[in-house]
Amino acid sequence: MTVAIYSSTSRTKGVKYAGSKLRLLPHILKLVRQTGAETVLDGFSGTTRVSQALAADGVRVTANDTSDLSRVFAECFLTAKPREGRYAKLIESLNRLPGKDGWFSEHYGGDPASPESIGPDGLKKPFQLHNTRRLDAIRDEIDRLSLSRCERSVALTSLVLALDKVDNTIGHFASYLREWSPRSYGDLRLEVPRFTRTIDGHEVLQEDAADAAERTPADLAYFDPPYGSNNAKMPPSRVRYGAYYHFWKTVILNDRPELFGKAKRRKDSADDANYSPYEDFRFAPDGEFVAVNALRDLLSKTSSRFVLLSYSSGGRATRRSLEAVMRGCGDIVAAVEVDLRRNVMAEMSWTKEWTREGGAPNREYLFLLAR
Ligand SMILES: C[S@@+](CC[C@H](N)C(=O)[O-])C[C@H]1O[C@@H](n2cnc3c(N)ncnc32)[C@H](O)[C@@H]1O
């Protein structure tokens, strides 16, 4: 059976993010509703769009991800009291600050008068100088003010969302566009994030997914781990979230880290730092991908009655190995394939071929497991 996807007019907020499940939200919500789950662990929450949508749907959510970006977004959208009026004064005062030269401008700002996004150091830049100068002023002010944890996360979320609208990237910070993108000429303007009223009691964690799964007794665990790439020649570091989104970490921490390389990445986003087994697409001694073994370990530690697993056709794991991991965890009670190009979904019979080795491109899969 093939069903046209209704266009998602979701109210969730997020930045451009590799593997974001924005377009899959209707399918994820449908499958979660089918289980009747009242509590959900979002183990790799990323932009937190899935967490936000589940919370808006009446579910109590635990959002977990190792990234600072995800933690701050989750604190803003899940645990801050949704009182827009209370934050309006803060956001307006940040918007009124005049720009100033500072650390961000020195490393990430380029001259808009030149058609190429080259900075004084000869490197391509992710933002125009007028916006990094505003960033320098606003980010220092957020540290100077005595804000509660929630207010701080609301201000940082608003700053990140505003920066994402005026960037000069193709969606990550591993390299930058040579010619200024049209949106990079815009002015940085913070807005109070739009909140959705939800039940209380959501939780935010920032730890390894397996640790979070072990200590979170949720009815359902949703796992959307990094997939790597099925291009075997691509070095694993190219698909690491820490390397792609180092800039957001620096905006959140404002810690002026040591930088390296043409994209001026944080030193702690280098290949030998910030290791996650889910992002390791080398082979383990047993002949399996390290990432697939990590998934097996994760599922064995998860106590939830239901597990919903996302997988992308561009990922490195093979059908056989994923199938074995899932069968070891429970029964596959539903499987959905979504063709993102044609915007259609199909409910799959589990016995049918669900991915061609080598990759049927632009397909996303959702597997609902019960035990
Ligand atoms: C495919 S993305 C998740 C996207 C998310 N579902 C969304 O819609 O935005 C994978 C996420 O896994 C996170 N991650 C990588 N290793 C992790 C680990 N060991 N534990 C928890 N999160 C991890 C990354 O920071 C990244 O945000």
CB 278 less than 6 A from any atom of ligand 1: yes
Cα–Cα distance between 135 and 143 in angstroms, integer? 12
CB 52 within 8 A of CB 77: yes
CB 49 less than 6 A from any atom of ligand 1: yes
CB 350 within 8 A of CB 335: yes
CB 80 within 8 A of CB 195: yes
CB 294 within 8 A of CB 277: yes
CB 44 less than 6 A from any atom of ligand 1: yes
User: pLDDT class for 321, splitting at 50, 70, 90?
Assistant: confident
Q: Mean pLDDT throughout 18-40? A: 95
- The residues spanned by each domain of the chain are 2-80+196-240+276-370
Q: Mean pLDDT throughout 73-89? A: 90
Average per-residue pLDDT for the chain: 89
* Ranges 31-45, 138-152, 348-362: which has the least confidence: 348-362
User: pLDDT class for 9, splitting at 50, 70, 90?
Assistant: very low
Provide the angle, in degrees to the nearest 10, between the axes of the packed helices 149-164 and 129-144. Answer: 180
Residues of the chain with pLDDT > 70, as a percent, come to 88
100-114, 223-237, 323-337 — which one is most confidently predicted on average? 100-114
CB 271 within 8 A of CB 237: yes
Q: Mean pLDDT throughout 108-112? A: 96
Residue 61 has pLDDT above 70, yes or no: yes
Ligand 1 centroid, distance to 213 Cα (angstroms): 14
CB 225 within 8 A of CB 248: no
CB 224 less than 6 A from any atom of ligand 1: yes
Ligand 1 centroid, distance to 129 Cα (angstroms): 31
- Residue 219: predicted pLDDT: 98
CB 46 less than 6 A from any atom of ligand 1: yes
Tokens, residue 148: 């509660």
Ligand 1 pocket check: which of 278, 301, 340, 364 to mutate, most ligand atoms within 8 Å of Cβ?
A: 278
Ligand 1 centroid, distance to 134 Cα (angstroms): 29
Ligand 1 centroid, distance to 20 Cα (angstroms): 9
Q: Which residue has the tokens 């998934």?
A: 295
Tokens, residue 190: 């913070």
Cα–Cα distance between 71 and 73 in angstroms, integer? 6
Q: What is the 3-state secondary structure (H, E, C) of the chain?
A: CEEECCCCCCCCCCCCCCCCCHHHHHHHHHHHHHHCCCEEEECCCCCCHHHHHHHHCCCEEEEECCCHHHHHHHHHHHHCCCCHHHHHHHHHHHHCCCCCCCHHHHHHEECCCCCECECCCCCECCEEHHHHHHHHHHHHHHHHCCCCHHHHHHHHHHHHHHHHCCCCCCCCCCCCCCECCHHHHCCCCCCCCCCCCCCCCCEEECCCHHHHHHHCCCCEEEECCCCCCCCCCCCHHHHCHHHHCHHHHHHHHCCCCCEECCCCEEHHHCCCCCCCHHHCCCECCCCCEHHHHHHHHHHHHCCCCEEEEEEECCCCCCHHHHHHHHHCCCEEEEEEEEECCCCEEEECCCCCCCCCCCCCCCEEEEEEEEC
Ligand 1 centroid, distance to 308 Cα (angstroms): 15
Cα–Cα distance between 131 and 244 in angstroms, integer? 21
Ligand 1 centroid, distance to 171 Cα (angstroms): 16
CB 63 within 8 A of CB 42: yes
If phi > 0 it is left, if psi is from -120 to 50 it is alpha, else beta; for residue 157 that is alpha
Residue 116 has pLDDT above 80, yes or no: yes
Ligand 1 centroid, distance to 295 Cα (angstroms): 13
Ligand 1 centroid, distance to 225 Cα (angstroms): 5
Pick the CATH number of 2-80+196-240+276-370 from 3.30.70.870, 3.30.450.20, 3.40.50.300, 3.40.50.150: 3.40.50.150
Q: Higher model confidence: residue 369 or residue 347?
A: 369
CB 70 less than 6 A from any atom of ligand 1: yes
Ligand 1 pocket check: which of 47, 65, 229 to mutate, most ligand atoms within 8 Å of Cβ?
A: 65
Q: Mean pLDDT throughout 244-255? A: 97
Ligand 1 centroid, distance to 65 Cα (angstroms): 6
CB 21 less than 6 A from any atom of ligand 1: yes
Residue 238 has pLDDT above 80, yes or no: no
Q: What is the pTM of this model?
A: 0.92
Ligand 1 pocket check: which of 22, 44, 249, 308 to mutate, most ligand atoms within 8 Å of Cβ?
A: 44
